[in-house]
């Protein structure tokens, strides 16, 4: 009876220990970037930007959302996107976990802005060159004040290049030159406090798990292996059942939550992609851990059956 009670306590401790290991896994920037690559986060986010570009700069520059999106993807390609994520995570995660008290992150967008400007200028120039030639009655209102003019001037003109550069430059210059993070917001500070407390709880649970296993081995020795293995096996089966059933349910509920109407409806696809990334990371981390938990449980049960047998007393010789 006592061994069963210890086994129940151990199962609870192992369950929370595995969640703690997942939390530790999520603190690895390389793992997170790898998962982002595997689900093609860059491509998914880029594809969902077009609806957001249908207004504003696209109309002002006389470009379609697809043309503006293509220019953005040229300015910031996939490798640069994942490199940014890696650098950002390496700066933020140690601060969030309390490993450092200084938060310093800076990322220059100067080269990206330059490429973006060149791409927009090239697209506008190409569109301008395909316009019909201006008639005499159109010259009076010719200009780039409201975007692309209705017609093009006969022959080349340095004025055209200046006008296009000015039009594009006014929009691109509105973008920041750097992404800076050195003064965390109150929400980020609260998140840091929660992450630090979670890390302390994980250490306490891991210690409790080790102590329980040590006590069981000390009291029942090899016979405790079957009970310990049963606890690991039970937790692994619970995790397996969750992986087979619950992840789809969670994904559907997140999709329903983010696809609601309102002013933020246009942001729903991007929010859904980010949420999907987080779920995929959790699913992968917990899935790998489930295999390890099940394997450990089966191994300890086998060892318990082999070494946990009570020795049979030899019959006294007559």
pLDDT(312) > 50:
no
pLDDT(253) > 70:
no
Give the range among 41-45, 60-64, 256-260, 285-289 with minimum mean pLDDT: 256-260
- Listed ranges 110-119, 128-137, 261-270; the one with the highest mean pLDDT: 110-119
SS (H, E, C) 62-127: CCCHHHHHHHHHHHCCHHHHHHHHHHHHHHHHHHHCCCCCCCCEEEECHHHHHHHHHHHHHHHHHH
Residues 290-298, mean pLDDT to the nearest whole number:
94
3-state secondary structure of 27: coil
Question: CA-CA distance, 152 to 160, in Å (whole number)?
Answer: 9
- Give the per-residue pLDDT at 262: 47
- Give the per-residue pLDDT at 258: 53
pLDDT(288) > 70:
yes
The model's pTM: 0.80
CB 162 within 8 A of CB 175: no
Q: Which residues contact 223 (CB under 8 A, 6 or more apart)?
A: 304, 308, 310
CB 38 within 8 A of CB 283: no
- 254 versus 287: the higher-pLDDT residue is 287
Give the range among 45-54, 171-180, 304-313 with minimum mean pLDDT: 304-313
Give the range among 76-85, 205-214, 226-235, 278-287 with minimum mean pLDDT: 278-287
Handedness of CA 265, 284, 229, 217 (dihedral sign): negative
The mean pLDDT value of the chain amounts to 84
Question: CA-CA distance, 62 to 195, in Å (whole number)?
Answer: 47
Long-range contacts of 240-245 (CB under 8 A, 24+ apart): 240/290, 240/294, 242/286, 243/283, 243/286, 243/287, 243/290
- Give the per-residue pLDDT at 270: 65
- 316 versus 279: the higher-pLDDT residue is 279
Give the range among 33-37, 62-66, 208-212, 219-223 with minimum mean pLDDT: 62-66
pLDDT tens for 142-192 read: 888 777 888 888 776 777 888 888 888 888 888 889 999 888 888 889 999
pLDDT tens for 192-245 read: 999 999 999 999 999 999 999 999 999 998 889 999 999 999 999 998 888 777
């Amino acid at each position: 009876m006592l061994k069963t009670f210890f086994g129940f306590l151990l199962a609870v401790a192992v369950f929370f220990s595995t969640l703690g290991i997942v939390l530790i896994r999520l603190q690895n920037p390389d793992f997170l970037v790898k998962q982002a690559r595997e689900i093609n986060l860059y491509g998914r986010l880029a594809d969902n930007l077009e609806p957001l570009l249908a207004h504003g700069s696209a109309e002002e520059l006389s470009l379609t959302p697809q043309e503006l999106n293509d220019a953005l993807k040229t300015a910031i390609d996939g490798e640069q996107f994942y490199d940014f994520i890696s650098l950002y995570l390496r700066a933020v995660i140690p601060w969030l976990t309390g490993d450092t008290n200084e938060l310093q992150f800076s990322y220059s967008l100067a080269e990206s802005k330059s490429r973006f400007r060149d791409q927009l200028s090239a697209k506008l120039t190409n569109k301008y060159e395909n316009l019909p030639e201006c008639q005499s009655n159109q010259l009076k209102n010719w200009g780039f004040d409201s975007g692309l003019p209705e017609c093009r001037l006969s022959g080349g003109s340095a004025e055209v290049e200046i006008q296009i550069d000015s039009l594009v430059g006014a929009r691109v210059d509105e973008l920041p030159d750097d992404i800076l993070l050195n003064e965390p917001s109150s929400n980020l500070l609260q998140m840091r406090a929660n992450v630090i407390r979670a890390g302390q709880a994980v250490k306490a649970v891991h210690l409790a798990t080790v102590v329980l296993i040590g006590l069981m081995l000390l009291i029942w020795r090899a016979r405790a292996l079957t009970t310990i293995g049963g606890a690991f096996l039970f937790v692994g089966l619970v995790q397996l059942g969750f992986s087979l059933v619950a992840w789809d349910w969670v994904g559907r509920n997140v999709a329903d939550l983010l696809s609601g109407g309102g002013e933020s409806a246009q942001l729903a696809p991007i929010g859904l992609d980010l949420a999907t990334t987080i779920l995929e990371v959790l699913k992968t981390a917990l899935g790998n851990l489930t295999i390890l938990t099940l394997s450990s449980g089966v191994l300890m049960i086998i060892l318990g059956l082999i070494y946990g047998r009570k020795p049979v007393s030899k019959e006294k010789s007559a």
